[in-house]
Amino acid sequence: MKALFPARHIVSCIIGLGLTSHVAAAEIELRAATIGSQQGIQMAGLNALADYVSEATNNNVDIKRFDSGSLGDQVSNIEAIDTRLLDIATIETPITTIDEDMGILSLPYLFRDREHVRNVLGGEIGEELRDTLQKQGYRIIGFYEGGFRHITNNRHAIEKPEDLNGLRIRTPGSRQRVEMFNAYGANASPLPYPELYSALQTGVFDGQENPLVEVEASRFYEVQDYLSLSGHVYTVGFLLMNESRFQDLDANVQQALLEGGEQAFEATTNFGEQADQSVVELVKGSGMEVNSVDTDAFITASQPLWDSFTDDLSQEAQDLVQRIADLP
């Protein structure tokens, strides 16, 4: 019997189907950048976001992820979002370059624990933060945990603020963070995160402050001798997009991104909780000395900073500090 279709037509159909499938899988490509390492908490959030969005859109949206600052630091990532060269970025302290009032989230000892964080970001205040940035052209598709920050150094254990006297401490590019550590007695200055390991290794800085997940992911335990569990700041992370870029997407893709943002928050919170135990064990095994700090002494030293950091902010921001502190 003669074949209904010549073999070459069958091959053409198969190739055509393959191309159609390929196009559907890559119908929308979004570029997402983080300064975090491949194994870090930011990537855990981006991976959760990308996996959820891919599944929710039947593989029609592919989020390409770029880690370890390969597309620049967070300030340049914000600029790339502005020009739509980048679709999504993980932004933490530099969120203040968009809105200075966001600096209240970095007040020392503002957040007590993760339950407090959930109550703040998952409720009315979280919605207000979203609205504030949306009015300025940015869409928060989700929050993520940067983590509670702790101090590492090469000189000695830090138990009280005065133990920081004279230590050269690296901070993020935040006026508040520099002033905070200088108020504790340190000699603090900012440095881009991708340059930090080398600066610690060569002795340019004596120490730094970061969440435990970064102590592991960036292997600071290789070039630092002491870890002091201060928990002085909780870093709120923002999964940020250009609002006009977000509005260009179909409603179903927008919904998938917002739901994926919730998944990113859960993934990073779980990541941070697990790191609280595993990283301490890891660094101890690597020879670091780990100690708790006199939290009351640090809180006392931090109280004057609340006023100085909020004096130049709007009354709304100052009121928000108290609202956050009052939440359970």
- How confident is the model over 178-214, as pLDDT tens digits? 999 999 999 999 998 889 999 999 999 999 999 998 8
Average of per-residue pLDDT across 21-28: 57
* Mean of per-residue pLDDT scores for the chain: 91
The whole-angstrom distance between residue 286's C-alpha and the CA centroid of its chain comes to 26
Residue 20 clears pLDDT 70, i.e. is over it: no
Length of the chain: 328
Average of per-residue pLDDT across 38-58: 96
Task: Provide φ and ψ at 172, rounded to 5°.
Answer: -65, 175
Report the b/e string of 193-205 with b at 16+ CB within 10 A: beebbebbeeeeb
Select from 101, 97, 98, 94 the least CA-distant residue to 309: 101
Contact (Cβ atoms closer than 8 angstroms) between residue 216 and residue 275: yes
Q: What is the pLDDT of residues 234-246, one digit of tens each?
A: 999 999 999 999 9
Q: What is the pLDDT of residues 61-120, one digit of tens each?
A: 999 999 999 999 999 999 999 999 999 999 998 999 999 999 999 999 999 999 999 999
Residue 6 clears pLDDT 70, i.e. is over it: no
4 versus 51: which is more confidently predicted? 51
CA pair distance 139, 250, nearest whole angstrom? 15
CA pair distance 90, 268, nearest whole angstrom? 12
Q: What's the confidence (pLDDT) of residue 306?
A: 92
What's the chain look like in SS3? CCCCCCHHHHHHHHHHHHHHHHHHHCCEEEEEECCCCCCCHHHHHHHHHHHHHHHHCCCCEEEEEECCCCCCCHHHHHHHHHCCCCCEEEECHHHHHCCHHHHHHHCCCCCCCHHHHHHHHCCHHHHHHHHHHHCCCEEEEEEEEEEEEEEEECCCCCCCHHHHCCCEEEECCCHHHHHHHHHHCCEEEECCHHHHHHHHHCCCCCEEEEEHHHHHHCCHHHCCCEEEECCCCEEEEEEEEEHHHHHHCCHHHHHHHHHHHHHHHHHHHHHHHHHHHHHHHHHHHCCCEEEECCHHHHHHHHHHHHHHHHCCCCHHHHHHHHHHHHCC
CA pair distance 145, 117, nearest whole angstrom? 9
Residue 322 clears pLDDT 70, i.e. is over it: yes
25 versus 34: which is more confidently predicted? 34
Average of per-residue pLDDT across 295-311: 94
Residue 10 clears pLDDT 80, i.e. is over it: no
Q: What's the confidence (pLDDT) of residue 173?
A: 82
Residue 19 clears pLDDT 70, i.e. is over it: no
Q: What's the confidence (pLDDT) of residue 14?
A: 37
Confidence of residue 8 (pLDDT cuts 50, 70, 90): very low
> What percentage of the chain carries pLDDT values higher than 90?
84
Identity of the amino acid at 193: Y
Q: What's the confidence (pLDDT) of residue 26?
A: 55
Q: What's the confidence (pLDDT) of residue 127?
A: 97
Confidence of residue 175 (pLDDT cuts 50, 70, 90): confident
